Amino acid sequence: MRTVCPPPTPFSDFSIRHIANSALRSGFGVTFTPVSQGIEAGNERTDFMRDQRVSFLASFEGLRGFAALGIFVYHFHHVRAFDALTSKAPVFFGQGWMFVDLFFVLSGWVMAHVYFARLSQRNRGDVAGFMVARVARLYPLHVTVVLSWFIFFHVLGGDGLDPGTLSRLVSQLSMTFTWGDLATRPFVAPTWSISAEFAAYLLFLLLVWAGMPATRLRAVALICCGLAGYVLLHGAFGTIHVITGMAPVRAISGFVIGVGMWKLIGCARTHGRVRLLELLALAAFAATILSGMFSFGFLATGILLVGAVSHDKGTIARVFQIKAFQLLGRLSFSMYMWHWFVIVAFQNLSVSFSAAEGLVVLAATVIGVLIWSELSVRYIEQPMGRALKSRLKHVTYKPRLQFRGMKSLNHDTDAQNSL
């Protein structure tokens, strides 16, 4: 019997559940088809089919939350008050920016898993719907964060409203502020990845139309191209931590690796693979620490980690399924976007903490930002996203999504809550 990679299931950019739920709420028609229709011969179900149920969302959701928290904590190395604490973990506070590349790999996997089957039909309505869904997911919170920063720091804070500042504002509202010659310094530092990843979405359409993720050989080619992109960045800048100008190359490199991984691993049987990938991820992490080759070592660890949890099986996957990581995943986009305000506020304080004091203050700060992120999800992300989709409802997109192991649901089914 030959197993065919089943049509996509929903994940998300910054919140894994959001793609499915946004499709349900946005008025896009959604058909959820029993997974058995993805088998060509007979009604037998492989290990892969048995394992890919709706809980398949959980591990990626938790992993994304873990990455967002990692970036937040990493940014405390920008605050002198926490030097006593950050000096205790130089590797983490020196290389924590690699969590963003984990986002890019996850996003590529997710977009391929959700949209490849439909977009490969080259229907203009589907393409428009894909872009509407992406803009509606990213833009409301992005605009709110950028305008909030502009108002507080430039209007009320006295930083000035010179023409250069207004030009930067327009650039950042257009989400093109990391694109080559259009690049400008972002007001809110973490927003660079939103602009860079939006470029990856545009390339994704071309990749799908070219049929690049359609075969495993092409998937390997995509992974090689992604790795080559990182190598070129490192060769040109001495690091892959590039956030302006060439930042889209960084985002696209991680993104296409994720697309290729989806085809190679997401469409494979799970028997024996999960434990192997877990062991490889742990081995890559250990080798990275011992060798000191942090950039590419942590990149390899992240790629293997995504593959290890992608079937929602195994020890690592179960860790990311616990409620704490699920909560972090749901709040990850807001936490990622808002936390920089706190970092800058700390930078302007003339205080210094011991390592113990810094740890307590850091923990309290994280809790406070999580509470704010919950409010942001409820009153900004969700309602503003729905409002934007409603205004763009003349563009209809009807993706055929699959929740493995679920019966058909109509498009009015309600669901909960990124890219």
Q: State how far Cα 208 lies from the chain centre.
A: 19
Q: Nearest-CA neighbor of 285 among 103, 106, 98, 108?
A: 98
**Residue that is written with structure tokens 């507080």 in the block:** 152
Q: pLDDT value at position 395? A: 52
Q: What is the dihedral of CA 62, 275, 280, 11, to 10 degrees?
A: -30
CB within 8 A of 203, min separation 6: which ones?
A: 252, 255, 256
Q: What is the dihedral of CA 234, 215, 194, 64, to 10 degrees?
A: -90
Q: What is the dihedral of CA 210, 213, 389, 26, to 10 degrees?
A: 130
Q: pLDDT value at position 283? A: 96
From first to last of its 419 residues, what are the pLDDT tens digits of the chain?
Answer: 444 454 433 333 444 455 444 444 433 333 333 332 332 223 333 333 233 333 346 899 999 999 999 999 999 999 999 999 999 999 999 999 999 999 999 999 999 988 998 898 888 888 888 998 899 999 999 999 999 998 887 665 555 566 778 888 899 999 999 999 889 989 999 999 999 999 999 999 999 999 888 899 999 999 999 999 999 999 999 999 999 899 999 999 999 999 999 999 876 666 568 899 999 999 999 999 999 889 999 999 999 999 999 888 899 999 999 999 999 999 999 999 999 999 999 998 889 999 999 999 999 999 999 999 999 999 999 999 999 988 876 654 454 444 333 333 333 223 333 44
Q: Give the C-alpha separation, 84 to 104, whole Å.
A: 31
Q: Nearest-CA neighbor of 116 among 196, 211, 52?
A: 211
Q: Give the C-alpha separation, 65 to 410, whole Å.
A: 29
User: Where are the chain's structural domains?
Assistant: 18-391
What are the start-end ranges of the H helices in 262-314? 273-291, 294-309
Token pair of 81 as six digits: 């008050």
* Residue 418 three-state SS: coil
DSSP state of 190: G
Q: What is the dihedral of CA 263, 268, 270, 273, to 10 degrees?
A: -70
* Residue 274 three-state SS: helix
Q: State how far Cα 29 lies from the chain centre.
A: 24
For residue 373, give Cα distances in angstroms to 66, 149, 191, 237: 15, 16, 16, 34
Q: pLDDT value at position 268? A: 66
List, as one string, the DSSP characters of 312-348: S-SHHHHHHTSHHHHHHHHHHHHHHHHHHHHHHHHHT
Q: What is the dihedral of CA 335, 336, 342, 346, to 10 degrees?
A: 130
Q: pLDDT value at position 159? A: 59
Token pair of 142 as six digits: 């992005």
Q: Give the C-alpha separation, 143 to 120, whole Å.
A: 31
Sign, CA dihedral 363-368-371-373, equals negative
Q: pLDDT value at position 95? A: 92
Token pair of 168 as six digits: 């930067």
